[in-house]
Structure 1
């Protein structure tokens, strides 16, 4: 599974699952590699869930 998320400054975060671990590869707007982080999949899932929750309006609808 690969997920690519765009950032507000034009960069990307590519998330690749590897069993119980996840690679998070960060690139800047020009496509240059900034960092690669390996995290447990459960931590990344909580991070993404929090990201979505922050983008909900008080009435529960997504912005």
Structure 2
């Protein structure tokens, strides 16, 4: 019985540790996603001000 209690305690601690890691990673992913979006917006603004055109996936470039 004592062995099972030790295993349960170990698994509870492991679950808590993993939960903390997942919460930290979620925060980091949200921050990085926001930073990437800001960079994409800044690049799009820079391209608009320079008159550049960014082609979408289905558009053909002008040399075709």
TM-score using structure 1 length: 0.31
TM-score using structure 2 length: 0.31
The structure having more radius of gyration, on CA atoms, is: 2
- Structure with more of its chain in strand, by fraction: 1
- Structure with more of its chain in helix, by fraction: 2
